[in-house]
Structure 1
Amino acid sequence: MSTSNTPESGGPTAAPRALSAREPHVPAERLVAEMVPPPRFDTVRFDTYIPDPGQPSQHAAVKALDEFAAGLGGAHVSGAGRRGLWPRRPRRQAPPEPRGMYLDGGFGVGKTHLLASLWHATPAAPGLKAFGTFVELTNLVGALGFQQTVRTLSGHRLLCIDEFELDDPGDTVLVSSLLGRLVAEGVALAATSNTLPGRLGEGRFAAADFLREIQGLAGHFRTLRIDGEDYRHRGLPQAPAPRSDAEVTRVAHAVPGASLDDFGELLAHLARVHPSRYGALCDGVPAVCLTGVRPVPDQSTALRLVVLADRLYDREIPVLASGVPFDRLFGEEMLNGGYRKKYFRAISRLTALARDAAPLAERA
């Protein structure tokens, strides 16, 4: 559903610079300005999403989201504005419709494509609608502070949150409070995830202890289930086999601007760089070359790698690697644990980027 950038090789170039040698700085204002769909999803629209004929839920989701976007065309009215000047006696009535859409489904069914299409279809200026991953949203709160984040986003018509995940109790309370405040200010919400909103955090922390917050989050959304198989591998051959160290190094030197890293050194560097800066870490890099890829040793390292894989995929940066295949990055215990959906998404995306990188090796 989108094409990758495949930079032309131009003969020998200056020695490639390692991602692990980069120390990006991202000011808070850049975090806000970049809350738009990433390059891979800059041109997607509802009519470029191709529903699988065998999955009626995909067509139904397009229709529901298109109608939702059309309904956001009116003037922005804050929660305070709706309440009026004088308090009224509560009346018995049906609870209001959730002011949000929650796209639930497996990886690779086009949820991010649909979320970005909703952003593009919403009749509001870019500065009045925001798009970011769950990690980027929590990073924004860390950079601006809670109250300033509320003030920054409260005038928006729509907030889109991709890859909605709750990995710890602190995030549960933080996001529950933030979204509650934004909904009260009239901000519409849309989110994607591989987990139903009422089951967020399940298998990762004592979700039962935070049931009130989780149920509060679920109340903001109408869930749209999107079934189907991973489009990235639908009808395509298996991912290309890993290359040799020598071949990866040769390609890195032949492609202007490509990075070259030892996989272990890159993982160590990710531990020193905040995940909010992983996108900036890749700025201007047309291809990532990795030598010595091997299974990730622990869960903290694995989760950082998932974020990097998401940023590389968003930016359509091909990945050429030696070592073990990407489907062996995460051990059985990780793939059977609470973060398994994140790991499968990372494998899926890295596999697609490895396929994008195959022409580089052929031309170099």
Structure 2
Amino acid sequence: MSGELGLFSVSDLYENKVRRGEIDADHGQRELAHRFDGLLDEISEQRLSRKTSSLGWLFAKHRPQNDPVKGLYVWGEVGRGKTMIMDLFYDIAPVKRKGRFHFHEFMRDIHARIKQARADIAAGKIKGDDPIKPVADMLSQELRLLCFDEFSVSDIADAMLLGRLFSRLFADGVVVVATSNVEPGELYKDGLNRQLFMPFIDLLGQYCDVVRLASRTDFRLEKLGGAPVYLYPLTDEKRNQFETIWQKLIEAPCAPSDAVSYQGRSIHVPQAYMGAARFAFEDLCARPLAASDYLRLCEIYHTFFVENIPHFGRNNRNEAKRFILFIDTLYDNHVRLVLSAVAKAAELNSNLNGTEAFEFDRTVSRLIEMQSDEYLDACSSL
């Protein structure tokens, strides 16, 4: 139906990218594009059924107005093309009121709205005592199609909120599309009071079709195209090379910032896009971050770009300790790292000794291993 309405299909857009040589054809991605074409048709049919024209009367016979359109929850390993295909769908979806968000960006906005709603209730501007209802009502007025990238739940505040919020959004007919690295049943796994979160998983299954993208390879790793992942020294040439690799991965000159909520704090991410995060060394190691903070970041991002790694000695011992923790965390969780440094790994220790020198020797070994094809291939298979 989308073709009859003068719209491109997701499959058309996907095949155009293949013909232009932007991507390699992949069976799993093609199948997912077809699923999104079906959703386009459902949305288009629902819009026509609501029209007062004779055409609307015709489509209303096939789709009752209170029959909700089921969205899609697409999950699979990182870098397989979930976000790319969802974005093709989003660009041509025939919905005026639509929004596309990174999930953590969306939740930050929701918490801010709830905070304001509580203040309005206290001031008598909003009746009742439930701040979630007015927020959900406002969202339903603003959006009819809601697309999420990198859907994940690890914060208890988010977990306790989602069921109540989305039950109202779904009831109001908002269509939800999400990409995630985990199937719905694995969301908030081992989280505190997870039993209170389980009804939300059932809700997702009721209002979204769950689809796994089992693509053949990690296309984001292919975008690195064999490029070096450890760049030194810090010359203009190496800085430009670092910048080029980043832009190739995100397919844009720059990316928006992000803020990761964790234990009541916010971890600033200068640039983040499609599971890749970019930092300066000071952002990660000159701030009071701990191993748990690095682990939290690894739960969200699969590729880290870190620039301007310095020499380490007595003057930056604290930074060196954090750098050791950071590399240990990435290594243990099989996360990819692209970095620029003042020197090769074996020459970064200029004046560390004792236990710190021993620990840094381990870091040097891991930095070298993280450049290997074996390590990168292991990352892509997870």
**TM-score normalized by the length of structure 1:** 0.55
The match for 1:106 among 61, 72, 77 is 77
> Using a 3 Å threshold, how does the CA distance of structure 1 residues 278 and 197 change in structure 2: closer, same or farther?
same
Q: Residues 1-364 of structure 1: matches in 2 within 5 Å?
A: 45-47=13-15, 50=18, 53=25, 56-73=27-44, 74-75=46-47, 99-125=70-96, 128-145=97-114, 146-155=132-141, 156-205=143-192, 207-208=194-195, 210-228=197-215, 229-234=217-222, 236-237=225-226, 239-244=228-233, 246-247=234-235, 251=239, 274=266, 278=269, 289-290=280-281, 297-304=290-297, 320-322=307-309, 328=327, 330=329, 335=333, 347-348=335-336, 351=338
Gaps of 5+ in 1: 1-43, 79-95, 256-268, 336-343, 355-364
CA distance in 2, matches of 1:290, 1:332: 17
CA distance in 2, matches of 1:302, 1:330: 6
**8 A Cα contact 2:160 2:196, kept in partner:** no
- Matched AA of 1:71: E
Task: State the secondary structure of the residue aligned to 2:178.
Answer: strand
* Aligned residues: CA RMSD: 4.5
CA distance in 1, matches of 2:202, 2:161: 14
**8 A Cα contact 1:166 1:201, kept in partner:** yes
> Using a 3 Å threshold, how does the CA distance of structure 1 residues 293 and 149 change in structure 2: closer, same or farther?
closer
1:182-214 CA-to-partner distances (Å, cap 9, x unmatched) read 111111110010111122112444534532332
The sequence identity of aligned pairs, in percent, is: 20
CA distance in 2, matches of 1:75, 1:49: 29
- Matched AA of 2:139: L
**8 A Cα contact 1:167 1:205, kept in partner:** no
Task: State the secondary structure of the residue aligned to 1:232.
Answer: helix
Task: State the secondary structure of the residue aligned to 1:191.
Answer: strand
**Corresponding residue pairs, total:** 251
**Rg comparison, structure with higher value:** 2
1:332 CA drift (Å) = 5.7
Q: Work out which structure has the larger RCO, using CA pairs closer than 8 Å and 6 or more positions apart in sequence.
A: 1
CA distance in 1, matches of 2:284, 2:41: 46
- Matched AA of 2:30: H
What is the aligned partner in structure 1 of residue 378 from structure 2?
A: none
**8 A Cα contact 1:112 1:162, kept in partner:** yes
1:159 CA drift (Å) = 0.2
> Using a 3 Å threshold, how does the CA distance of structure 1 residues 227 and 97 change in structure 2: closer, same or farther?
farther
CA distance in 2, matches of 1:330, 1:223: 31
1:281 CA drift (Å) = 10
CA distance in 2, matches of 1:173, 1:303: 19
> Using a 3 Å threshold, how does the CA distance of structure 1 residues 221 and 177 change in structure 2: closer, same or farther?
same
Give the number of the structure whose residues are more often strand, by fraction.
2
> Using a 3 Å threshold, how does the CA distance of structure 1 residues 162 and 322 change in structure 2: closer, same or farther?
same
**TM-score normalized by the length of structure 2:** 0.53
